Amino acid sequence: EAQVTQNPRYLITVTGKKLTVTCSQNMNHEYMSWYRQDPGLGLRQIYYSMNVEVTDKGDVPEGYKVSRKEKRNFPLILESPSPNQTSLYFCASSTGLMHGTGELFFGEGSRLTVL
């Protein structure tokens, strides 16, 4: 089954404790992206990757890091989480071909709470 898998789905942590949210896709997609969703603010892009070893900032990259060492994986790293990073996070991927980068497949989301 074609899917984007995120882990963990739920996490409560404390300020400053480094954490990683993993994302893996099994569709051989070139393009991957991270979004955060907050009430009243919609979906905001954090980082995206057009292919292996190619990453770029989205609209709200501060406080986050990403890496793309393999095509299927795109982890989101919070080096020193703060309460304003409490949010619902989504990983998404697409083929990256002619029209494909808009046709995103989303994971089920990771709800993060930073105390």
Partner 1 sequence: GQQLNQSPQSMFIQEGEDVSMNCTSSSIFNTWLWYKQEPGEGPVLLIALYKAGELTSNGRLTAQFGITRKDSFLNISASIPSDVGIYFCAAGANAGNNRKLIWGLGTSLAVNP
Q: Which residue from 50, 65, 77, 86 is in contact with partner 1, where contact means CB under 8 A?
A: 50
Q: Which residue from 18, 41, 79, 80 is in contact with partner 1, where contact means CB under 8 A?
A: 41
* Per CB under 8 A, 48 contacts partner 1: yes
Indicate the burial class of 112 (C-beta count within 10 angstroms; 0-12, 13-18, 19 or more): buried
Nearer to partner 1, 14 or 27 (CB): 27
CA distance 44 to 27: 23
Strand 65-66 vs strand 105-106: parallel, antiparallel, or unpaired? unpaired
Nearer to partner 1, 23 or 114 (CB): 23
* Per CB under 8 A, 90 contacts partner 1: yes
Using the 8-state DSSP alphabet, how is residue 84 labeled? G
* Per CB under 8 A, 70 contacts partner 1: no
> 24 CB contacts (<8 Å, ≥6 apart)?
4, 5, 72, 73, 74
What does the binding site for partner 1 look like in residue numbers (CB under 8 A)? 4, 31, 40-45, 48, 50, 56, 58-60, 90, 92, 98-99, 101-109
